[in-house]
Amino acid sequence: MAWVYLIIAATCETAWNFCLKYMRFNDLKAIELNSFYKWQGGLPVLLPFVGYVLFGLANIYFFSTAIKQIPMAVAFAVWTATTLVFLKIAEVSFFHERTSWPEVFFMMLIMVGILGLKIYATPSVK
């Protein structure tokens, strides 16, 4: 179950990164109290901030749960690499960014490394 928590943490980290990308600090000053919850009002400005907090907390929770059962160095390496792969997949899928064959090749090397760490990781001693 720890590996599932690690994947969930990587997913939350990916969403957290996109929330960070879409934060607009300058627009916070223009939000009015009577329309902050409306789609035409402040909601597009506030949603990245809300997502930042929620995904950040979920990431911390799931990652801390995972490292209780997986060695920390292995968990951190897998979490970071999985987040990187998820970010690239999201950029290509949702934002139509271009990718090259060398990028795909090196992403596959990362995935091979993740599988190797998962298969050969020694269990954590409690």
Region at 24 (left for phi over 0; alpha for psi -120 to 50; beta for the rest): beta
Q: What is the pTM of this model?
A: 0.80
Q: Put residue 96 in one of left, alpha, beta given phi > 0 → left and psi -120 to 50 → alpha.
A: left
Q: What percent of the chain has pLDDT over 90?
A: 48
pLDDT digits (tens, 9 = 90+) for 95-104: 899 989 998 8
Q: What is the pLDDT of residues 20-41, one digit of tens each?
A: 998 888 877 777 666 666 667 6
Collapse the DSSP code of 95 into the 3-class scheme (helix H, G, I; strand E, B; otherwise coil) and give the result. Answer: coil
pLDDT tens for residues 39-68? 676 778 888 999 999 999 999 999 999 999
Q: What is the mean pLDDT of the chain?
A: 87
